[in-house]
């Protein structure tokens, strides 16, 4: 018998698949796009950290008596599609993806986890702690923009494309998995106002990341 709410299984499942995929895609970006062995190793560091997160989530699913393959399966198409639409074409796009793309996805998971039970909230917070990712990518991107200010426009566009694709896949998922969608909304609140506040929080966090990179968030 499994007493875990289906929304929580969905949350852990989508996050597990997101982390497994981030690990593999970042490793691929590191192998294909890093301009030096030091950079390759540094993005490899980020990739390996994502793998550690995947393991935490897989272990939690197992301890809840849930098969992680089954829990991840509903989210494979949406997450794979997002990565297909956001394949970085150079090193700086890869860095911005590692920071901004993973960041906005993380905000969604964090929002969903707020309404789960405390042990799930804690696990999700642990998985999403992103100090490794931040310091390295922010330094590299800022330095590159200082050297070549034209880079800033291209990378800002790239970041907006990633956010657009994330929203599009997010809506697709929310429609397909109502139990997960419901986690995003405070119980008992007015749905529309709450969704408005949710988007305000997500937009604010995204804006902070863009500023950290030295990029303009705006349209």
Residue 36 contacts a copy of itself per CB under 8 A: yes
- 3-state SS class at 179: helix
Of 7, 14, 15, 17, the residue at the interface with a copy of itself (CB under 8 A) is 17
Residue 157 contacts a copy of itself per CB under 8 A: no
Calpha distance 57→2 (Å, rounded): 17
Of 4, 5, 6, 51, the residue at the interface with a copy of itself (CB under 8 A) is 51
Residue 21 contacts a copy of itself per CB under 8 A: yes
Burial class of residue 215 (count of CB atoms within 10 Å of its CB; 0-12, 13-18, 19+): buried
Residue 40 contacts a copy of itself per CB under 8 A: yes
Query: For helices 118-128 and 102-114, what crossing angle results, to 10°?
Result: 170
Of 9, 12, 15, 23, the residue at the interface with a copy of itself (CB under 8 A) is 23
Residue 20 contacts a copy of itself per CB under 8 A: yes
Count the residues of the shown chain that bind a copy of itself, applying the rule CB under 8 A: 27
**CB contact at 8 A, 173 and 180:** yes
**CB contact at 8 A, 107 and 202:** yes
**CB contact at 8 A, 18 and 73:** no
Interface mask (CB under 8 A) for a copy of itself, residues 67-96, using x and -?
-xx--xx--x--------------------
Q: Report the chain's C-alpha Rg in angstroms.
A: 17
Residue 195 CB, shortest distance to a copy of itself, in Å, is 31
**By CB under 8 A, which span of 14-22, 142-150, 151-159, 197-205 interacts with a copy of itself?**
14-22
**CB contact at 8 A, 53 and 120:** no
Phi-psi region of 34 (alpha: psi -120 to 50; beta: other; left: phi over 0): beta
Residue 137 contacts a copy of itself per CB under 8 A: no
Q: Which residues bind a copy of itself (CB under 8 A)?
A: 17, 20-21, 23-25, 27-28, 30-31, 36-38, 40-41, 44, 47-48, 51-52, 54, 58, 68-69, 72-73, 76
């Amino acid at each position: 018998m499994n007493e875990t709410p289906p929304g929580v299984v969905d949350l852990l499942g989508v996050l597990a698949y997101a982390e497994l995929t981030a690990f593999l895609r970042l490793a691929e970006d590191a192998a294909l796009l890093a301009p030096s062995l030091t950079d390759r190793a540094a993005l490899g560091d980020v990739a390996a950290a994502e793998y550690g997160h995947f393991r935490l989530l897989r272990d939690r699913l197992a301890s809840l008596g849930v098969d992680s393959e089954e829990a991840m399966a509903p989210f494979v198409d949406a997450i794979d599609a997002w990565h297909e639409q956001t394949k970085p074409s150079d090193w700086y796009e890869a860095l911005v993806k590692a920071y901004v793309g993973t960041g906005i996805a993380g905000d969604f998971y964090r929002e969903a986890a707020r309404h789960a039970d405390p042990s799930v909230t804690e696990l999700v917070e642990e998985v999403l702690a992103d100090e490794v990712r931040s310091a390295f990518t922010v330094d590299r991107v800022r330095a590159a923009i200082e050297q070549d200010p034209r880079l800033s426009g291209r990378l800002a566009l790239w970041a907006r494309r990633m956010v657009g694709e994330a929203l599009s896949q997010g809506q697709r998922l929310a429609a397909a998995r109502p139990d997960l969608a419901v986690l995003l909304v405070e119980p008992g609140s007015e749905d529309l106002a709450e969704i408005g506040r949710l988007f305000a929080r997500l937009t604010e966090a995204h804006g902070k990341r863009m500023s950290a990179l030295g990029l303009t968030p705006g349209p």
